[in-house]
Amino acid sequence: MNMPDPQVMTNAWIAQMNDPNLWKAWFNAVPEAPVNPIAAVLQDAGANIKPEVLDRLKSEYMGKLGALWADFLAGKTPQLADRRFAAPAWRENPLSAYNAASYLLNGEFLMALAESVEATARQKQKIRFAVQQLIDAMSPANFLATNPEAQQKVIESKGESLTKGLSNMLADMQKGRISQSDESAFEVGSNVATTPGTVVFENNLFQLIQYTPTTPAVHQRPLLMMPPCINKFYILDLQPENSLVRYAVEQGNTVFLMSWRNPDKSMGQLTWDDYIEQGAIEAVRVTREISGQDKLNVFGFCVGGTIAATALAVLKARGESPAASLTLLTTLLDFSDTGVLDVFIDEEQVGRREKALAKGGLLPGSDLASTFSSLRPNDLIWNYVQSNYLKGNEPPAFDLLYWNADSTGLPGPMFCWYLRNTYLENSLCVPGKLTVAGAKVDLSSIDVPTFVFGSREDHIVPWGAAYASTALLNTKKPQQNRFILGASGHIAGVINPASKKKRSYWSNVAAKPAKGAKAKTLSADDWFSGATEHPGSWWPEWAGFLAEHGGDDVKAPAKPGSRRYKAIEPAPGRYVKVRAEKA
């Protein structure tokens, strides 16, 4: 077998890696990646790699490539410590094993180059992200010509897998997205979003669902849940065994939940103020009126938490205090640390969105879905390219991935305001800096006990950023606040049913300031160093918190709504079933 000389390969590879024009070409070809991040650093910022560092990286790379080549000639199969190449077919074919090992080595070299570029921290983060996107996309597992598993299946199926894979790809092209789950296996209201309840109010922005009690007595104060408007609410109500909504009902809470409307073109002018005034504040008003209670337990998840906290601050500025407690799950209020999403946020990118959308129009749900998929491309993109297209497999039925594909759009003005004032300028946490719905926003005015939850492996809301909310809220009585850290990520950390007894969570009771003490919050690292790990779900901790602030137990409501707010339709309602409009 004729193979190229490793020294020739090394010199050619390094020459390419040092060509700024190649960086430009690569990143111009990736529409969702940050705009020319490496070219911008090398060309505009005058950044470079120190010659001695580059020489060292070259030497290390050449040494490893030479050793790999020697092993190949000696018939020694390289170790492939990467799950993408775990199947026996990669090791059984020496050329495939060498190809995979070369790819891993080249990826390692690329990342070492990215780490060595002289640039600001923000620029380096963008470089790392963009280079990793390139490396993941170029995996030999992603191409039929270099994937021995897929080739083997073509032979075994006599070409049927190739035909089926092409069919799957064409079907996805029609849908405009990669299928991650067998979508025919689920139907909203049939086997997901099935907790019994009734829509008791609706306007142009949301429907309000009141869930049917399952206990003879309930806490006096109802629970109002505000899910994110960038996803469908039923992540909180997937199936009975993993439904946070059902669990809250079973714990004796009268649960109301906002089901945001998936916007169409008629809603293209709506603003952040509209989502606060006509959305969250209206939901608070109606829930109070139906329940006959002056105080509510308010809940927000992700962006829903940002909306909930903003609404409560606006109401406080108007002299109203409708909350008995506040729960925030994986929520950002202080946007100092936005994790990997920071690569999509700079003046140029936000300005581009504002130019396109600030005066009206919709941000397509597909844009948001593509952005979040790009944060975990091997799991959410290339895994399905390999399975669905190269191998012709049908995706399995998985409720969470069905929900993940059920995307939502956003009104352009609302989205642009949110991007600039939170992610880009981090103004929400500065008392009085922002005016929302005619009121100056001061999060520190929210003076109610607050339950804050973060997920330890969350790549969207880093847990330290979630923890930062404890220093912003209820500052006069911080001992009333509670922070819980869960295992896993942004979704799996939240949806961790108590009945499953999986994973774990951390608490730190000793971190609470003494009663009456001046507000003082430990750093996230100090909090964790003194925290205690507990097996199982954090849900019972939250249920206990709600019970503390739920008031007396009273007889459960006999029927939903009230004389003024009558039943409109059964849960989950119409709004959640509307699919996002295509761009």
Active site residues: 302
The SS3 of residue 255 is strand
Q: How many CB atoms lie within 10 A of CB 145?
A: 7
In sequence order, which ranges of 397-518 are alpha helices (DSSP H)? 399-405, 412-418, 463-467
d(CA 246, CA 39): 51
Query: In Å, what is the CA distance from 373 to each residue of 135, 388, 393, 459, 511?
Result: 16, 16, 20, 12, 36
CA distance 370 to 295: 40
Q: Which residues are bridge partners to 554 per DSSP?
A: 218
Please state, in angstroms and rounded to a whole number, the distance separating the CA atoms of residues 528 and 438.
39
Q: Which amino acid is at 550?
A: G
The phi and psi torsions of 564 (rounded to 5 degrees) equal -85, -40
Per DSSP, the residues of 74-99 read: TTPPPP--SGGG-SHHHHHSHHHHHH
Do 523 and 185 contact (CB within 8 A), yes or no?
no
Look up residue 286 and give its amino acid.
Answer: V
Those residues whose C-beta lies under 8 Å from the C-beta of residue 169, and which sit 6 or more positions away, are 388, 389
Query: CB of 402 within 8 A of CB of 192?
Result: yes
Characterize the bridge pairing of strands 439-440 and 435-436: antiparallel
Do 185 and 215 meet the contact criterion of CB atoms below 8 Å apart? no
Among residues 502, 520, 504, 524, which one has the least CA distance to residue 512?
A: 520
The candidate with the shortest Cα–Cα distance to 326, out of 451, 485, 480, is 451
Question: What are the residues facing 533 on neighbouring strands?
Answer: 506
3-state helix, strand, coil in the chain (%, to 5): 50, 10, 40
CA distances from 360 to 270, 272, 415 (A): 8, 13, 10
Task: Note whether 428 and 422 are within 8 A (CB).
Answer: yes
Whole-number Cα distances in Å, 133 to 26, 31, 126, 365, 386: 11, 12, 11, 21, 16
CA dist 28 and 11 (Å) reads 25
Instruction: Record the tokens describing residue 549, joined without a space.
Output: 């602030």
Beta bridge partners of 199: 209, 569
